[in-house]
Amino acid sequence: MSQLTTRMRIRHRGSPPGPKNATIPWLVRRLLVGVLVLFLVSVLLFLVTQALPGDVARIILGKDATAEQVAGLRQQLGLDQPLLGQYWHWLSGVLSGQMGTSLENGEPVGDIVGPRMFNSFTLGFMSLVLILPLAVIVGVFSAYKRDSALDKAFVAVSSLFTALPAFVVGMLLIAFFATSVLGVLPGVSNIPPGDLPWWHPAELVLPVTTLTLMGVMYLGRLVRASFIDAMNSEYVQTAILKGLGSRRILFRHALPNAVAASLPAASLVAAVTITGVVVVEYVYSYPGLGTAVVSAVNSHDLPVMQACILILATAYYLFNLLADVFAALGRSR
């Protein structure tokens, strides 16, 4: 949750766009910078994984490896070539989908990462589909009943959730729903390879619920705040003074403003859901990118790790970029 809140508190990112006709050039520049940043991300990832001081092959194989094994791995990873050539080989491989083979079992990285990416995407997408409407409903209702016991309870609970690590939430859900207390849902979401995630709806319930709870608690609070702002705005106050019906004011005046104001936050929630996915997948042993990256780190499976981290970082950055664009468009209106 932390990076999300930070970003919400950063008002100006880049140069704030001025009048309306300046928005398009700003947008183009922002996207170009985005491409540059993604390129730098790949450079950093490459440098950390392949060009650290010390012998990467030795790190991967451990202290007991023979000299031949180390030499063989160096050749397989192309570590004997000049650094620039290595990077170019790696980047062109990634862009064309040829990401090498896993050091663990010799399978092509694409075959391992592809289905897992799909699984993670499914998990994230289902959570987002639930988070967005629920957050609006909860936030608006809480703002509407402002300072009631219900509203106070929501604020307190959401404050608790923003401080909690995702694994704690996941583990509590398992304890309630998957053990002797209720025992109605599976606590392990191990989807067999080759199956599509939605063939196992029961296994999806708890991971999706965990991510949804975390997202709704955060986004709902922001919707609540922007709805209160919208209701206090001169625009809505004028509508009230004009004697318009309260339902009309609520849905035609206040709600669109509140939703527009929370749009940047919504894409940040999407970005953070990606981080949450890593931990939540691990909690439920769900076969996605998160579990893949953790096991690749544990077994020093360099190519799989590089691919997973690059995908996660790219997706994360894209959603953050989207949030910036929404925020800028919101300001220029």
Partner 1 sequence: MTTDQTAGLPPSENPVIGGPAPLDTVAAPLDTGTAAGGRSNLSVLSRAVRTGQARLGLALLAAVGLLVVLGPFFAPYAPDAIIGQPLEGPGGKFLLGTDILGRDVLSRLLHGGLNLSWMAILAAGLGVFLGCLVGLTAAYKGGAVDALLMRAMDVLLSFPEIIFVLLFVSMLGRSTLLTAVLVGVAFVPGVSRVMRGAALPVIGSEYVLWAKANGLPPKQILVREVLPGVTSPLMVETGMRLVWAVSAIASLSYLGFGIAPPAADWGLMVGENQDGLSIAPLPVLAPIVLILMMALGGNLVAESVARTVGRTEGKR
Q: Which residues bind partner 1 (CB under 8 A)?
A: 1-3, 5-12, 33, 36-38, 40-41, 44-45, 48-49, 52, 56, 59, 155, 159-160, 162-168, 171-172, 174-175, 178-180, 187, 221-222, 224-226, 228-229, 272, 274-275, 278-279, 282-283, 293-294, 296-298, 300, 305, 309, 312-314, 316-317, 320
CB-nearer residue toward partner 1: 234 or 243: 234
Work out how close the CB of 33 gets to partner 1 at its nearest, in angstroms, rounded to a whole number. Answer: 8
Q: Which is nearer to partner 1, 40 or 153 (CB)?
A: 40
Q: Residue 220's CB: how many other CB atoms inside 10 A?
A: 27
Q: Rounded to the nearest whole angstrom, what is the least distance from the CB of residue 320 to partner 1 in the complex?
A: 7
Q: Is the dihedral of CA 53, 59, 63, 67 positive or negative?
A: negative
> CB-wise, 30 or 244, nearer to partner 1?
30
Q: Name the residue among 288, 256, 276, 290 with its Cα closest to residue 319.
A: 276
Residue 268 Cβ vs partner 1, minimum distance, rounded to whole Å? 12
Integer-rounded Cα Rg, in Å, for the chain is 24
Residue identified by tokens 């001025």 is 18
The phi and psi torsions of 167 (rounded to 5 degrees) equal -70, -30
Nearer to partner 1, 75 or 232 (CB): 232
In whole angstroms, give the CA distance from residue 181 to residue 175.
7
Degrees (nearest 5) of the Cα angle 85, 106, 76? 30
Place of tokens 């994984």: 49
Rounded to a whole number of angstroms, the minimum distance from the CB of residue 9 to partner 1 is 5
Shortest gap between Cβ of 277 and partner 1 (angstroms)? Answer: 10
51/196 with CB nearer partner 1: 51
* Residue placing its CB nearer to partner 1 in the complex, 155 or 244: 155
Q: Least distance (Å) from partner 1 to the CB of residue 172? A: 7
Written in H, E and C, the secondary structure of 199-249 is HCHHHHHHHHHHHHHHHHHHHHHHHHHHHHHHHHCHHHHHHHHCCCCHHHH
